[in-house]
Amino acid sequence: MLEFRKDIFADERDDNLIEVGQPTARQDILGHVTGTSPYYDDHRFANLLHLKILRSPHAHARIRSIDDSAAARAPGVKRIIRGADVPVNLNTLLSLIQFGKDDEPSLATDVVRYKGEPILGIVATSERAALEAMALVRISYDQLPAVFDVEEALKPNAVSVNAAYPKNTFEYYGKYDHQKLRYGDVDAAFKQAEIVLEDRYQMSPIEHAPTETNGSIAVPDTNGRFIVYTSTQALFFSLDTSAKINAMQSNQLHFIGGTVGGGFGGKVDTLTEPLAILAARLTGAPVRHRLSRHEEMQFGSPRGAERIFVKDGIMKDGRIVARQIRAYFDSGAYTRLSSYAVVKCTAHLPGPYTIPNVHADVFCVFTNRTPATAMRGFGVTAMDFALECHMDKGAVAVGMDPLEFRMLNMYRDGDMKAHRRQAKNCALIECAQVAAEKANWPLRDEFRRMSSRAGGSPERGGVADRTRTPAFAPTAKQAPVPADADHRRAPNVAPPVVPQRIAYERPASAAPARTTLAQQPAPRAVPPPPTAPASSPAGSTHGAPRFSSVFGTRRR
Amino acid sequence: MKTPIQFILNGEDVATFVESGSNLLDTLRETVGDLSVKGGCWQGTCGTCTVLVDGVPRLSCVTLAETCAGKSVETTAGLRRGADLHPLQTAFMGRFAAQCGYCTPGMLMAAKALLDRNPNPTRADVVDAICGNICRCTGYEPIIEAVLDAAGGDARRRA
C-alpha cells in the first residue's frame, strides 16, 4: 500500500531510515483493543460530584434576572455557581500568547451572545439531580436582535455582538480589522488578463463529533492543589487557561491527560476544566464536568463557516496572472482561535501557485453563532476548497486539462511567493505526476517531464520578464516519457518546452506601480513581508521541510 | 429505591443494586466497575457502548439494566483469555484499526457477535455488522480488513 518513489529527489534524501517505511505498532494500541486505555472518565473517585451547565436558549439576549433559589434547595444539589463566583470571568484562549483581548466569560452575567452560552452551573450528587434542579432555575431575558451572517455583521448599523470588539471584527496588531496580503498590482493585471473569473464559496460549520465528548474531572489534592483528569488535546494550554480563569498558580494544578477519545481540534478550547476546578474548590470534593452529546454539538465549537470570494485573472495559455481574495471567517460570538485561523489562511494564499499579482483581505467576524475553533487545517482547508474549485473552473475557461492547468502554475524552486519568500523544496509537480500516473490520468509529454527544480525564478513570481514566452504549444510529436522515468533527469535531457509561466507582461505605460516592483532586483530589495504576530503559533518554523533539509543534505 | 439484579459478566456471576431506570452502561461502568465499556452519545446512536447480551449486540446506554437480569453480558474486558489476545484484538493491532481507541471496544463487540455466529463472513457481512458503530478517526477500511483477518480463511476472496 505504502510506496516510496526513490527515483524522485534521490540525491536529496537519506535512505538509511530505520522507522520510516516500516510497519510499526501504535504504542497505545494494546490498551485500545483491551479496553484499558485510561480516558479521563476512566478514573473513579469516592463521593464524586457532577457539574451541569444551564445554557442560553437565545442567540442574543440581556439577562434581566436569575432566580436559582428553588434549585439550590433541590435534592442532591451541593452548590450553584454563578458568573460572580468565577475569579477571572473574562478570557480569550490566545491571551496566553498575548494575542487578542479577553472577550469570553466562563459564565455569562449580563448578556448571552449565542444559543448554548453557559450561564450557571449546578453541582450535585448525580447528573440527574443536577438536571432536575436546573429545571427549577428561573431566568428572565430581554431578547436582543441577533446577526448570523458575516457580511450583515460588517454593515455599519449591524448589531454589535462582542463587547470587546464592537465593530464585529477581530483587531489585528491593535488597529486593523482584517489581515491583508498585497503583492504586485491586481487591478492592472485584471485589465490585461484575457479571462477574469469570479465566484463565491460558502462553507458550513462542521462539528468534530469525537466519539468521546469533552470532559474533565477535578480532584482536590493536598496542599491546595488540584489534579485534573481531562480529555484536552492541549494539556499545558488547558492548564494555563484554567489557572488564569481560577486565579491560581500553574503549579497548583496537575493535569493528567493524553488519552483523548478523538479531538480533531475540538478539544483545545478548555471548555470544561476551569469550571470543574472551580466547583471542586467550592465544594472540596472531586467534580466531573462531562458534556452530553447535545452539549458537544451545540456548545462545543465547530470549524467555523467561511465565505470566500475568489477572482482570478488568467491568460489563454493557462497562466494565472492575478488572484484577488476576500474572505470572511465566521468566528461566532467569541474569538477562541478564529483570529489565528485568519492569520494562517492569509499566510497560505494564494495557494500553492506562483501568481505575480495577489490581493487578499481576510476578516475574522463576530456573529451570534456558536464560537468556532480549530479543526484539521482550519484556515487553510476551506480556502483550499474554494481555490481548487476555482482552479477547475479556470481550467475549463482556458480549455486545459485541470491537472495540467494546475501544474503550469504550481510553485517551483526559486519562485518568489506572494509573501516575498522564495519557494524551496517544492515537490508538488512531482506529486501531481505520480498521482496522475496512479490514477491513469493522461498527462501530455511536457507535463510528464516538468520538474519543480527547473524553470523557477524570482522573476516568475512577480518581477516582469521582458521576453514574452511563446504561447502554450502542445508538443504531441515528442516521444512519451515512460511512466517510471527518472523525473530528475528530464530537464537535462530535454529542456521543458512548456512555457514556464513568467511574470505578467504588460505595457510599461499601463501600470506604473507594477513597474516599480518589476524594476526591483529582488529578492533582497522587495518590500519586507507583513509582520506576523510575534507570539503567534504560526511561528517561524511554519511549513514542513523535507527530511533531507533537516539533515542538511538538501542543497540550499 | 434500589433493585437487586444478578447477571453473568464475561462468564462471572455479578450481583448488584441498581436505581430503577438505570441503564446497562452506567451499571457496568459506575456500579460494577467494568470501564472497558465507553459512553459516546448516551442516546443510542453511535454504537460506542455496544456490549453483547446473550450473544446479541446491544447499545448499553439505552438498555435498562433490569432487563439483563439472569442474562449473559459480554464486554471487551472479557475478550482476552489470560495473556492471550482474542484474534479480533490481534487483528485490530495488526491492521492499525484504532487511532483514538474510543470506539474500539464497541467495534470489537459488534465484530465478535458477527464472528460468533458466522465464522466466515463476507466483506458485506462485516460492513453490515459494524454499520451501527461510528468511528471518527481511523476510517472503516482498516477495521473491516481487521475483522476479515480475524475471521481468516478465504473470507476476503469470497467478498
* Same-domain check for residues A221 and A328: no
Residue A478 or residue A444, greater confidence: A444
Cell numbers found for residue A487: 523525473
Of A436-450, A458-472, B78-92, where does mean pLDDT reach its minimum? A458-472
| A442, part of any domain | no
Among candidate residues A373, A362, A15, the one with its CA nearest the CA of residue A182: A362
- Among A118, A143, A168, residue at a domain's last position: A143
Q: How far apart are CA A325 and CA A304, in angstroms?
A: 18
* Same-domain check for residues A82 and A224: no
Find the closest chain B residue to A209 by CA distance.
B136
Cell numbers found for residue B85: 489476545
Sequence letter at residue A192: Q
| A466, part of any domain | no
Residue B140 has a pLDDT of 96
Range of the domain at A154: 150-206+303-396
Cell numbers found for residue B108: 470489537
| A390, part of any domain | yes
Residue A5 or residue A80, greater confidence: A80
**What are the two backbone dihedrals, phi and then psi, of residue B91, each rounded to the nearest 5 degrees?**
-65, -40
CA distance B89 to chain A (A): 5
| A199, part of any domain | yes
The alpha-helical segments, DSSP class H, found in A224-354 are: 235-245, 273-283, 293-298, 338-348
Collect all residues from A whose CB is shorter than 8 A from any CB in B: 25-26, 28-37, 39, 41-42, 44, 208-213, 259-264, 292-293
CB contact under 8 A, A292 and B42: yes
Q: Which helix (H) or strand (E) holds A435?
A: helix A428-438
pLDDT tens figures, A364-406: 999 999 999 999 999 999 999 999 999 999 999 999 999 999 9
| A128, part of any domain | yes
* Same-domain check for residues A94 and A72: yes
Q: Which helix (H) or strand (E) holds A322?
A: strand A320-332
Tell me the torsion sign for CA atoms A298, A303, A304, A308: negative
| A88, part of any domain | yes
Strands (E), A9-135: 49-55, 61-67, 77-81, 111-112, 118-124
**Closest CB to A211 among B40, B43, B108:** B40
- Per the structure, the count of domains in chain A is 3
The domains of chain B, with CATH numbers, are 2-78 (3.10.20.30), 87-154 (1.10.150.120)
Please answer whether residues A274 and A282 qualify as being in contact, where contact means their C-beta atoms are separated by less than 8 angstroms.
no
Q: For the residues of A445-503, what is the DSSP string, one character each? A: HHHHS--TTSS--TGGGTSPPSSPPPPP---TTSPPPPTT--TTTHHHHS---S----P
Sorting pLDDT into bands at 50, 70 and 90, what band is A3? confident
CB contact under 8 A, A26 and B89: no
Q: Map grid coordinates 505498532 to a residue.
A: A25
DSSP state of A372: P
Residue A1 has a pLDDT of 57
Beta bridge pairs of residue A337: none
CATH code of the domain covering residue A331? 3.30.365.10
A448 SS3 class: helix
Residue B11 has a pLDDT of 96
Residue A247, class by beta-carbon neighbours within 10 Å (0-12 exposed, 13-18 middle, 19+ buried)? exposed
**Closest CB to A34 among B80, B134, B135:** B80
* Same-domain check for residues A177 and A233: no
A287-290 and A215-220 strand pairing: antiparallel
Residue A462 has a pLDDT of 63
* Same-domain check for residues A139 and A60: yes
CB contact under 8 A, B40 and A263: no
pLDDT at A277 over 90: yes
Mean pLDDT of chain A: 85
pLDDT tens figures, A514-530: 333 333 333 333 333 33
Mutation pick from B22, B104, B130, B149 vs chain A, by most beta carbons of A within 10 Å, is: B104
**Closest CB to A293 among B41, B77, B108:** B41
* Same-domain check for residues A235 and A373: no
* Same-domain check for residues A202 and A334: yes
Cell numbers found for residue A120: 450557571
| A315, part of any domain | yes
Residue A483 has a pLDDT of 39
Find the closest chain A residue to B109 by CA distance.
A33
Q: For the residues of A507-534, what is the DSSP string, one character each? A: -TTT-HHHHHHHHS--STTSPPPPPPPT
* Same-domain check for residues A162 and A220: no
* Same-domain check for residues A201 and A311: yes
Please answer whether residues A183 and A358 qualify as being in contact, where contact means their C-beta atoms are separated by less than 8 angstroms.
yes
| Residue A285: CA count within 13 A, CB half-sphere | 18
* Same-domain check for residues A181 and A328: yes
Mutation pick from B25, B29, B86, B136 vs chain A, by most beta carbons of A within 10 Å, is: B136
Sorting pLDDT into bands at 50, 70 and 90, what band is A23? confident
Q: Which helix (H) or strand (E) holds A134?
A: helix A127-134
* Same-domain check for residues A193 and A311: yes
| Residue B104: CA count within 13 A, CB half-sphere | 36
CATH code of the domain covering residue A106? 3.90.1170.50
Q: How far apart are CA A447 and CA A498, in angstroms?
A: 8
Chain A neighbors of B136, CB-CB under 8 A: 208-211, 262, 264
Residue A526 has a pLDDT of 35
Can you give the C-alpha Rg of chain A in angstroms? 28
pLDDT tens figures, A169-178: 999 998 999 9
- Among A336, A368, A396, residue at a domain's last position: A396
Q: How far apart are CA A469 and CA A476, in angstroms?
A: 19
A380 SS3 class: coil
Successive 10-residue mean pLDDT values, chain B, 159 residues: 94 95 96 97 97 98 97 97 92 95 98 96 97 95 96 56
| A224, part of any domain | yes
Sorting pLDDT into bands at 50, 70 and 90, what band is A128? very high
pLDDT tens figures, A285-323: 999 999 999 999 999 999 999 999 999 999 999 999 999
C-alpha distances out from residue B25 to A41, A387, B42, B104, Å: 13, 46, 9, 16
Residue A526, class by beta-carbon neighbours within 10 Å (0-12 exposed, 13-18 middle, 19+ buried)? middle
pLDDT at A534 over 50: no
CA distance B120 to chain A (A): 22
CA distance B152 to chain A (A): 19
CB contact under 8 A, A28 and B101: yes
Sequence letter at residue A224: G
Q: What is this structure's pTM? A: 0.85
- Among A354, A376, A396, residue at a domain's last position: A396
Sorting pLDDT into bands at 50, 70 and 90, what band is A468? very low
* Same-domain check for residues A225 and A100: no
pLDDT tens figures, B105-123: 999 999 999 999 999 999 9
CB contact under 8 A, A32 and B92: yes
CB contact under 8 A, A35 and B33: no
